[in-house]
Amino acid sequence: MQQFLRMMAIFIQYPWLAALIGVLMLALGRWRGRGAAVAAGITWLLYAVYETGMKQRWLCTGECNIRVDLLLVYPILLVVTVAGVVGLLRTGRAQR
């Protein structure tokens, strides 16, 4: 888990990377017609806005370096990303 948190910490420094993932997931989800990927893209974009606000200190006062919120945010991002990728990789339903 600690390795996962360390990997995800890049988004604290570079929130635009989260926005890039969001745009990619959103575009692929819309192109393939996959709601889970669209939802994942929207979630990543919301996280990018949130992280930008934290970095710019719009959303926090005082000590912004202790980020307990990420213990909840990162697993949510992981779950929606996995669901989105699975949705993108799954084949279309058989036509009747």
Residue with tokens 């745009």: 23
Residue 48 lies in a domain: yes
Residue 95 lies in a domain: no
| pLDDT one-digit tens code per residue, 21-69 | 999 999 999 999 999 999 999 999 999 999 999 888 888 877 777 788 8
Residue 21 lies in a domain: yes
Contact indicator for 44, 20 with CB cutoff of 8 Å: no
Reduced to 3 states, what is the DSSP secondary structure of residue 77? helix
Residue 9 lies in a domain: yes
0.85 cut: is pTM over it?
yes
Structural domain containing residue 39: 2-89
Residue 75 lies in a domain: yes
Q: How many structural domains compose the chain? A: 1
Residue 56 lies in a domain: yes
Residue 60 lies in a domain: yes
